Amino acid sequence: MTEYEHYEAVVVGCGPGGAAAAARLADHGVETLVLERGTEAGSKNVSGGLIYAEESAPYTIDDLFEGFREEAGERPVTDYHIHNIAENSVKTYDLSDLHEDDTDWCDAVLRRKMDSWLERRVHEKTSETGGGVLTNVRVNGLLRDGGEIVGVTCDELDPIKADLIVGADGVNSELARDAGLMDWEEPDEWFQGVKAVVDMEPDVIDDRFDIEPDEGAAHLFSGDLFEDVRGGGFLYTNEDSLSIGTVFHLDSLVEQEAEPHELLDALLTHPLLAQWVRDDYHEREYAAKLVPDSKKVAHEEPYRDRLVLVGDAAGQMQAQGPIIKGMNHAVTAGALAADAFVVTRGNTDSEAVGRRYAQMLEKSGTMDKLRPRRYEISRTLGERDAVTNVVERVLESPVGSVAIGNPIANRLLKRAYNSPFLVSMLPDTKTGYVTLPSIIGEEHGRSIHWENEIEPPTLEERIGDLTYDTDIGNPHIELRDESVEASGAAVHACPVSAEDFGGGCYRSETVATNGSEETLVSLDTQPCIECGTCAVVADTDWEHPRGGKGVEYREG
């Protein structure tokens, strides 16, 4: 084999998972190289986003990075509510009990600010042990020797060998796929989130949300404002902006042929929002991201040879009912992977580190949070169509509505929402997301008649406001099958495409051939925001753009 550069550890991706792994490795004195494809860490990342520090977690981000909350975070969440919506009728529950369960603290974050801060800390730490962080480098695959994974290959650098490879390359991990650990097949294993970051002066935020400058609010939305699409909305307060977004099951988006940007607009223009945002609506950034459903895809053995996966790359994103926790688990996983490497260093079996890492994930209770056993049991019943339909019919009947609508039920419902135990059992059906919240809204809700003055930008304007460094002549996605059957879903589901919109990634076009007309799907990757939706719902060859190329998020 050719003489390649060698590092003790190579960490791919400098989000919270990669940063935690690299920092912990450096703390152990391990020579660590971190490769990040963004022009700066955070420029490729999107979150809702709240980051949690759980009391039960072995590691939290502020354990590993002193000053994190002051320097990298926005506002702490001190106020937590869920709104059940049935048209103009809204029933609001205080979710503080659920939110505070096992929570040491929880802050809103914007990823460009957060991850770029982490990148600088990681570079300082890893430089001391002979490594460092390199940006604008895309790792495109695994280096193998005799079939065994021994390093990584990159677009911008010669191959690099390593004793440990940490795949922290996010939800669309190319390493996880190269290793055969994750696939891109089933829409029901994914959520898709879209988000708008909205300008708002700090004192206006304090005033409209009735909070102090060092406090923050989190609001969740569910019910019928998204028609029958399974999912919900959120609003978090940052220091001088709001993060407002929606998260939906990808299979539901596909089935309902829903346009993600329109669902976001449905939330933005609901009368409920008028209390916080007036006609001064100015959107800084539109963004989107796929979210793995850890209940289904969190890998029980996220390793192969010297490769270990952490964070989204390993499906470690806990989305259960109103709880959405990803970054904290990535941090735990990254730090544990580093510890696993140190205790198994020198072991001739290259998978020793991976096995130890998986054990640590299990022992620390992380795996049970990601894949609760309670859910495994209830899912087998709850997600069968027959069961759902029966429950739906009962709930929608006068009897069902009255049952949920009586005053005792109101108290119980609040308690149920605030029970981590019950929430972890919620099956992923229309019942939990749409039917139940809208009945609650209808029966217990109070009608609101505020005039919503928000005029969301068009999709064209949203794309126009994003920053791109296009890799001209080198598209990163290729459409393998242009037929509507294979790839037509992307026209709707892609967050920067829409039916009858010519400026997006995916368009359906009618082509005349030999006297007959045929509708085909075409692709232009220029507006791509690299969420990965089309990799799941269309037939594509999907890669990330080269280092530094493609979309650059300023907020994230």
Taking the complex as a whole, the smallest distance from the CB of residue 41 to another protein amounts, in Å, to: 14
Provide the 10 A C-beta neighbour count for residue 204: 15
Among 94, 101, 102, 156, binds another protein (CB under 8 A): 156
Site membership for another protein, residue 7 (CB under 8 A): yes
- Residues paired with 164 in a beta bridge: 9
Angle in degrees, CA 380, 383, 387, rounded to 5: 95
Site membership for another protein, residue 380 (CB under 8 A): no
Among 160, 182, 298, 534, binds another protein (CB under 8 A): 160
The helix (H) or strand (E) run that includes residue 140 is: strand 139-145
Site membership for another protein, residue 209 (CB under 8 A): no
* Torsion on CA atoms 231, 195, 453, 433, rounded to nearest 10: 10
Taking the complex as a whole, the smallest distance from the CB of residue 2 to another protein amounts, in Å, to: 13
Answer whether 142's CB lies under 8 Å from 307's CB: yes
Residue type (1 letter), 164: L
Give 132 or 441: the residue with its C-beta nearer to another protein.
132
The helix (H) or strand (E) run that includes residue 233 is: strand 231-237
Distance between CA atoms of 379 and 437, rounded to whole angstroms? Answer: 20
- Selected range binding another protein among 151-159, 266-274, 315-323, 505-513, rule: CB under 8 A: 151-159
Q: Over 28-88, what HEC string results?
A: CCCCEEEECCCCCCCCCCCCCCEEEEECCCCCCHHHHCCCHHHHHCCCECCEEEEEEEECC
Among 33, 307, 404, 490, binds another protein (CB under 8 A): 33
Question: Which has the closest alpha carbon to 427: 383, 384, 396?
Answer: 383
Taking the complex as a whole, the smallest distance from the CB of residue 124 to another protein amounts, in Å, to: 10
Taking the complex as a whole, the smallest distance from the CB of residue 344 to another protein amounts, in Å, to: 24
Please give the residues from 82 up to 141 whose contact with another protein meets the rule CB under 8 A: 123, 127, 131-132, 134, 137
**Which parts of 250-300 are beta strand (E)?**
283-292
Give 10 or 459: the residue with its C-beta nearer to another protein.
10
Give 158 or 376: the residue with its C-beta nearer to another protein.
158
Taking the complex as a whole, the smallest distance from the CB of residue 340 to another protein amounts, in Å, to: 24
Give how many residues touch another protein by CB under 8 A: 14
Contacts with 508 (C-beta within 8 Å, 6 or more apart), sequence order: 484, 488, 491, 499, 519, 520, 521, 522
- Selected range binding another protein among 150-158, 355-363, 398-406, 533-541, rule: CB under 8 A: 150-158
Give 36 or 339: the residue with its C-beta nearer to another protein.
36
Contacts with 367 (C-beta within 8 Å, 6 or more apart), sequence order: 298, 300, 361
Answer whether 37's CB lies under 8 Å from 138's CB: yes
Give 167 or 532: the residue with its C-beta nearer to another protein.
167
Taking the complex as a whole, the smallest distance from the CB of residue 137 to another protein amounts, in Å, to: 8
Taking the complex as a whole, the smallest distance from the CB of residue 158 to another protein amounts, in Å, to: 5
Taking the complex as a whole, the smallest distance from the CB of residue 5 to another protein amounts, in Å, to: 6
Among 158, 203, 396, 478, binds another protein (CB under 8 A): 158
Please give the span between the terminal C-alpha atoms of the chain, in angstroms, as a whole number: 41
Q: Over 331-376, what HEC string results?
A: HHHHHHHHHHHHHHCCCCCCCHHHHHHHHHHHHCCHHHHHCCHHHH
Taking the complex as a whole, the smallest distance from the CB of residue 24 to another protein amounts, in Å, to: 20
Site membership for another protein, residue 491 (CB under 8 A): no
Taking the complex as a whole, the smallest distance from the CB of residue 127 to another protein amounts, in Å, to: 7
Give 8 or 79: the residue with its C-beta nearer to another protein.
8
Site membership for another protein, residue 547 (CB under 8 A): no
Question: Which has the closest alpha carbon to 291: 247, 321, 260, 261?
Answer: 247
SS3 383: coil
Question: Which has the closest alpha carbon to 229: 218, 237, 221?
Answer: 221
Taking the complex as a whole, the smallest distance from the CB of residue 157 to another protein amounts, in Å, to: 6
Residue type (1 letter), 316: Q
- Selected range binding another protein among 21-29, 105-113, 156-164, 309-317, rule: CB under 8 A: 156-164
- Selected range binding another protein among 40-48, 157-165, 392-400, 452-460, rule: CB under 8 A: 157-165
Site membership for another protein, residue 483 (CB under 8 A): no
Site membership for another protein, residue 276 (CB under 8 A): no
Site membership for another protein, residue 35 (CB under 8 A): yes
Binding site for another protein (CB under 8 A): 5, 7, 33, 35, 123, 127, 131-132, 134, 137, 156-158, 160
